[in-house]
Amino acid sequence: MEFRCFVRNKLLVGICQREVTTFYPVLIEKKDHLKVLIEDFFESEVFSNFELDNYTFDVYVTNDGRVKVLDFNPWGAFTLPLLFSWDELSEGDDEGMDFRIVESRCVVQPSLKTAVPYDYLDTSPGSGWDQFLRNDDKELRRQTEESPEASA
């Protein structure tokens, strides 16, 4: 009952289950109800209290229908998009919010717990790994320019 929520331009554009390695039949039965619970929670608790335009947040829905925030994460970078791609989330239309769950055993994704970290696999321009290397290069240049040896 844990879900990742994606907010772009202050709009909730996507929700998906966090555990993508397992099929939970109960989620199919509760999908519409869960969508409403999480959307209502976003509107009443998150939207007006969180100032960033683009971010993700993870929630847990209790058995009695309460929604609790687990954490907030940056948009893109090191945050896994899980059942979405960042392109889908970034370029999607503003017509509505997409709620995704694993809907059969056939679409279960491999375990992310034992796999190589996502950032090592995705080295495309703009990926978390690419951004890390760019930031590292900038910091190295800054430190080199500031060092006393560089001015001698």
Q: Are strands 11-17 and 98-100 parallel, antiparallel or unpaired?
A: parallel
SS3 breakdown of the chain: % helix, strand, coil, rounded to 5? 40, 20, 40
Q: Domain ranges for the chain, please list them.
A: 2-109, 119-146
Question: pLDDT tens, 52-107?
Answer: 999 999 999 999 999 999 999 999 878 999 999 999 999 866 677 899 999 987 75
Amino acid symbol at 139 = E
pLDDT attached to residue 110: 60
Closest CA to 56 of 7, 3, 2, 19: 7
Closest CA to 112 of 28, 22, 27: 22
**Residue with more model confidence, 19 or 110:** 19
> For 2-109, CATH number?
3.30.470
This prediction has a pTM of 0.70
Question: pLDDT tens, 117-148?
Answer: 555 556 667 666 667 777 767 777 777 787 66
